[in-house]
Amino acid sequence: MSGPTRAMVMAAGLGTRMRPLTDDKPKPLVVVAGRTLLDHALDRLVAAGVTLAVVNVHYKAAMVKAHLAKRHDVEIRFSEETDALLGTGGGVVKAMPHFAGEPFFIMNSDSVWVEGFGHALDRMKQRWNPDMMDGLLLMASMVTAIGYEGPGDFSMDPDGRLARVEEQRLTPFAFPGVQIVHPRLFDKAPAGVFSTNRVWDVAIAAGRLYGIRLDGVWIHVGTPEAVEEADAFLADRPTVR
């Protein structure tokens, strides 16, 4: 199957809401269902044909590097944000040279879900069309999501185009931290620290930001309580094919 073979895994956050589990380790190394969150993310990407993963690091970076030294099923490179965090957008821009101008996955290191029909990343690769899209975001149903209490993130029309939702309005979809992007999404990005929301809004205005629904159950693992909830839910459910 054609599609991106490179990915960026966002692993530089401080994990403050996950304390005390992150007092002695970074959030990506918190264990859920017998695997670290970071390994869950990499397992998904490898199963979808990714051969190069760029991992950005900041808090307790040495622990992340030591842990990933044990993996040999994917080439791993590190994007250092040791001096200062760059945000979700700035972090991607710093790592951009690793992607050689090709479309690539971006995945949060705490993205955990149970598949429904098919496999989400494979379905994203099939749907991805760089001629009409600058970004393709996975969308999780608010109805089935576990551990998520926010108002949601986007509305999606029948063709998959995404739009912002007015304040005080609810939306059926939340963004579980998985997307395919073309490097041009960041062509007019600001320098330094910024959120991916900035470039998403540009793509929305151009009609070039799309979504695809997750046919499964997304688990938002943001707190110690959510770790317990995820462990219970995943006890007899595989997260990867």
Q: Which residues of 132-163 are buried (b: 16+ CB within 10 A; e: fewer)?
A: ebbbbbbbbbbebbbbbeeebbbbbeeebbbe
Q: What is the Cα gyration radius of the chain?
A: 17
Say which amino acid occupies 228.
E
pLDDT for position 42: 95
Would you kindly state where each structural domain of the chain is located, as residue ranges? 6-234
For residue 20, say if its preceding peptide bond is cis, omega within 30 degrees of 0.
Answer: yes
pLDDT for position 98: 96
pLDDT for position 240: 60
pLDDT for position 216: 87
Query: Could you read off the pLDDT of 182-237 as tens digits, one per residue?
Result: 999 999 898 889 999 999 999 999 999 999 999 988 988 888 888 888 888 888 77
Model-wide pTM > 0.85: yes
Residues of the chain with pLDDT under 70: 1, 167-169, 238-241
β-sheet bridge partners, residue 200: none
pLDDT for position 241: 52
pLDDT for position 238: 65
Torsion angle defined by CA atoms of residues 171, 172, 176 and 177, in that order, rounded to the nearest 10 degrees = -50
CATH code at 6-234: 3.90.550.10
Residue 184 to residue 134: CA distance in whole angstroms? 7
Residues 6+ apart with CB under 8 A from 142: 148, 152, 170, 171, 172, 173, 174
